[in-house]
Structure 1
């Protein structure tokens, strides 16, 4: 359920490669950087981009608001430090696994990127247009009594969401520059449809998605459900599940579950009375799993969010 929707903050800029690292570094030095008069100079970007860096850092969970500061003090989260500090797992987003991890953080919860969450988790069919998503969100806003939600603001949000994942919608040089520099384009989660102006949310094998990132996502999803065992059908189709967020087909989901259970002792999967399910034991450590993956890639495996 979406209780506190958020449809702005990015200033229509899709995420750029350098912004998350820039935000973590800047807030490590000065939690008040985004309110500082010289923020433009310190961050080396324009006024609207300063706001966009703040938004994307919060939306992906690498930054968080300091409790009691009413948003004036922004600091790196434990996850953001482990991920993007100079000695972190992958501060310059060199591995495809990191892009999948960012997508998971962005689209698995409705917090600061409601359109992203709704599109990947609650849209009823694989094909869509910008207009169809805007109309659906307008209806949802009216049904739930969400304040300050207008068709024009939703259109800007939906348009930014599409450009985050698909670079083909370029009508001007500025838009092209935005999309070429957006890491999530690499994932090919949104493809053009056959008809002009249509798009497809594809379900595919996702060969670049490591089982470690899948395992991390599985753990977070199961925590939200308060469960240690979950049916594979739920992992495939339920809102907020790895299957929905990553756009996995059935074979890909099964393959990732099997890889995870084969490599992590605290993970088991079985089939009882025709019901396929996966279980995480009490010793499963999602952060350690990520650290070991990045260690194998030559990053710092000792970084922890604990």
Structure 2
């Protein structure tokens, strides 16, 4: 579905505004809106800055889904799912529930009702820094959020809103026995390559601490937008990734534990796309 959306705006920038978009895309009318929504939320397409009714692929969207030289046009590599997950969960305005769950919520286990209540309270406190969110939107988002990552035991199909969500494969959330809520799965992520981890580390560093040449282990583990939070890593897994940085980056990034001080040092800036190319080449 995501590729279908990127391909569609590549061919016709106004496709989602046309009355026959469902014919062009070969899906139902509701799915047209869903494809546009998720491609936008995952930062695969965006509004043309010069013409608001037109949509264009982002550099990220083109780099993944381009038929000629895209990294993974048909989503065959789990690494791409981690990238899409990262793009969604760092998008505070267009994926508020996803952002909050991975960057703000500190509980490892949750039930839908208290999850929604706590999310609503937080959203009310953020009125000045983000778009307002209605109660109905939040409840719908919470249900969709859960189905995005966790296929219910009670149904063989994932709801249409989450596109038969490929992100279920990441095993980030599991339903607890007897249907008593849900649990984030912290720890090792076998399908998360070090190149993808490092690219998100670089993006986090550039966004939050660009002027600094060192980054504490604790920030990488627990700060909002950090790889530790976005990928739900534990400290042992984080350490294992960090110990590979020097080799991967030709010592541009180095992890060091001296006198109990655990930090990553940056010797020179790195290009995020080059890191992605390293994985996909």
- Alignment-derived partner of residue 215 in structure 1: 198
Q: 1:195: how far off?
A: 5.3
Q: 1:194: how far off?
A: 4.0
Is residue 2:59 matched to residue 1:81?
no
CA spacing shift, 1:131–1:118, aligned 2, 3 Å: same
Q: 1:200: how far off?
A: 0.5
Three-state SS of the structure 1 residue aligned to 2:56 is strand
Question: TM-score, length-normalised on structure 2?
Answer: 0.91
Give the one of 248, 266, 275 matched to 1:280.
266
CA spacing shift, 1:262–1:68, aligned 2, 3 Å: same
The runs of 5 or more residues in structure 1 that have no matched partner are: 1-18, 296-306
Give the one of 263, 278, 281 matched to 1:292.
278
Q: 1:134: how far off?
A: 1.1
Q: Which whole-Å CA distance do the structure 2 matches of 1:228 and 1:235 have between them?
A: 14
CA spacing shift, 1:149–1:61, aligned 2, 3 Å: closer
CA spacing shift, 1:139–1:210, aligned 2, 3 Å: same
CA spacing shift, 1:259–1:239, aligned 2, 3 Å: same
The runs of 5 or more residues in structure 2 that have no matched partner are: none
- Alignment-derived partner of residue 164 in structure 1: 148
Q: Which whole-Å CA distance do the structure 1 matches of 2:162 and 2:94 have between them?
A: 20
Q: CA RMSD in A?
A: 2.0
Give the one of 248, 264, 268 matched to 1:263.
248
Is residue 2:99 matched to residue 1:117?
yes
Q: Is the 8 A contact 2:65 2:72 kept in 1?
A: yes
Three-state SS of the structure 1 residue aligned to 2:98 is helix
Runs of 4+ in 1 over 6 A off after TM superposition: 177-180
Three-state SS of the structure 2 residue aligned to 1:159 is helix
Q: Higher relative contact order by CA 8 Å / sep ≥ 6: 1 or 2? A: 1
Question: What is the aligned length?
Answer: 275
Three-state SS of the structure 2 residue aligned to 1:73 is strand
Q: Which whole-Å CA distance do the structure 2 matches of 1:105 and 1:267 have between them?
A: 23
